[in-house]
Amino acid sequence: MSFEIIPTAPYDFDLTVGSMTFFQARHAADMFEDGALRRVLSLSDKPALVSVRSVGSVDAPRLAVEVSGNNLTPTDEEDALSIVRRMLATDADISAFYEMVLDDPHLAPMIGNMYGLRPTCAPTAYEALVLAILGQQISTHVARMLRNLIIETYGDRITIGGETLHSFPRPETLAEAGVEGLRAIKFSGRKSEYITGISQQIVSGELSLEEMRDLPDEEIVSELLALRGVGAWTAHWMLIRAFGRPDGFPHGDLALQRMMGILVGDGSVMAPEDALVYSERWSPWRSWVTAYMFGAGRTGRFAEIVSGK
């Protein structure tokens, strides 16, 4: 199946996807090589490979989308397109954010350096939550290892052109794997318990993360905080990475505190409470500000932007 998506302009596909994958060929289930984003999605009861590449420009963007798999239906087609649009924020109105940023002397330089960047989302809220729990209080290297292990061990598999690829695991699979199954791939006991418990709640019908999409931000955070293993840091990242809300701000993130201190402070790490208070001037676009700061960091452009060069 082949489709075309026309994002709202400006839209820099390479910068957006590159930031999402930390400018690596692979990040979790996402692969970005030779100008194409590829990942396996779980559609209905089957895996399908989605490939997206830019066939337009930043100011006249067009994305070519291909979906490959066995016995795909029109419903699978609709689901794949919906997921791609949400993942890559193709329909977001960037103009209002840029109007706000251009009036801010600290943020305005980011527009020229990061023009057309969009905040991205995980395909499902479940994937975003599992990855957030996985990444709590561990190094980037260890987090990357654990992401690869959980996907390669428990993700659905599809073979296309002789290449075997994996989707992110389904809740049913991780619920069945249980604590021991996750411990077997080097997860800590506590993380194994958190992920297994959430997976089991979803399978039993006790919890539906996708139904949170229609709730106000405050209610989403409140419901997430009620889950074992979810604190404020995870809940606020979920507003950005799971639900695509424009005004999330994970002020407890140490990397964000460091960048805030450099961008608008005295160069030292900004206290989380101070970062939250300062960020209120950027509302209702704090998710976008966060995405631009992290994007600048991942490209190595943050110091250049701050210095004004």
305 vs 95, more confident: 95
Residue 246 in contact with residue 91, Cβ under 8 Å? no
Contact yes or no for 247/285 (Cβ under 8 A): yes
The Cα–Cα gap between 66 and 89 comes to: 18
Q: Are residues 223 and 139 in the same domain?
A: yes
Q: Are residues 237 and 133 in the same domain?
A: yes
User: How large is the average pLDDT for residues 159-168?
Assistant: 91
Domain that holds residue 161: 125-241
Q: Is residue 80 part of a domain?
A: yes
Tens digits of per-residue pLDDT, 191-224?
A: 999 999 999 999 999 999 999 999 999 999 999 9
Q: Is residue 110 part of a domain?
A: no
Q: Is residue 210 part of a domain?
A: yes
pTM exceeds 0.75 for this model:
yes
The DSSP H or E segment spanning 203 is helix 189-204
Tell me, yes or no, whether 7 and 52 share the same domain.
Answer: yes
CA–CA dist 150, 259 (Å, integer): 31
pLDDT tens-place string over residues 239-297: 999 999 999 999 999 999 999 999 999 999 999 999 999 999 999 999 999 999 999 99
CATH code of the domain covering residue 79: 3.30.310.20
Q: Are residues 221 and 262 in the same domain?
A: no
Whether residues 63 and 149 fall in one domain: no
Q: Whose CA is closest to 213, among 124, 111, 115?
A: 124
How many domains would you assign to the chain?
3
Integer angstrom CA distances of residue 190 from 179, 182, 193: 9, 10, 5
What is d(CA 196, CA 176) in angstroms, rounded to the nearest whole number?
8
The pLDDT of residue 304: 83
In order, the DSSP letters of 44-93 are: TTEEEEEEEEE-S-SSS--EEEEEE-SS--HHHHHHHHHHHHHHHTTT--
pLDDT tens digits, one per residue of 25-75: 999 899 999 999 999 999 988 899 999 999 999 999 999 999 999 899 999
